[in-house]
Amino acid sequence: MKILNNNPIYVCHSSIQWKGMTRVQSDPRFVQFKSEEYGYCAAFLLFFMYRQMYGCNTIRKFMSAWSSPYAIKLEYLVKCVSYYAGIDADKPIAGYDWNAYIRIMCALSYELNGCRAKKVRVCKGLWYAIRYHEQVLGE
């Protein structure tokens, strides 16, 4: 099963010019990426921004900051992601706990897309995010 727009967590259009966006953006709501890896990169960068800007350091806080209340039942999403990631929804996640971030992203992608994420693509997306976060976050 292919992930729509190579955008595993449905990153919406904004003023941010994400790495790996396709030149033509024909979907009016969601960003289209050249590959899933770039979609995961944007997702990780969003999580990094939420952590830095809003203090999001748990699954519940990440999901609350990311989720649209109109699109998804938040508590259901929190429970599913927490279960699939094997991490308590309210357990603080260390800033550099890459394994936890990967597990959360795989769980979120699975819940939203109905298919298991390819871990190698998730890991490559995280690698891109770590590499590019200074450009996006201005650190």
Residue 135 has pLDDT above 80, yes or no: no
138 contact partners, CB below 8 Å, separation of at least 6: none
Residue 69 has pLDDT above 90, yes or no: no
Residue 72 has pLDDT above 90, yes or no: no
How many whole angstroms from its chain centre is CA 29?
Answer: 16
Query: Which burial class, exposed, middle or buried, applies to 23 when counting CB atoms under 10 A from its CB (0-12, 13-18, 19+)?
Result: exposed
Confidence of residue 139 (pLDDT cuts 50, 70, 90): very low
pLDDT of residue 136: 55
At 30 the three-state DSSP class reads strand
- Token pair, residue 16, equals 């941010």
Residue 118 has pLDDT above 50, yes or no: yes
Percent of the chain past pLDDT 90, that is, above it, reads 73
What is the C-alpha to C-alpha distance for residues 91 and 58, in angstroms, rounded to an integer?
6
Question: Cβ distance 38 to 51 under 8 Å?
Answer: no
pLDDT, tens only, 16-66: 999 999 999 999 999 999 999 999 999 999 999 999 999 999 999 999 998
Residue 117 has pLDDT above 60, yes or no: yes
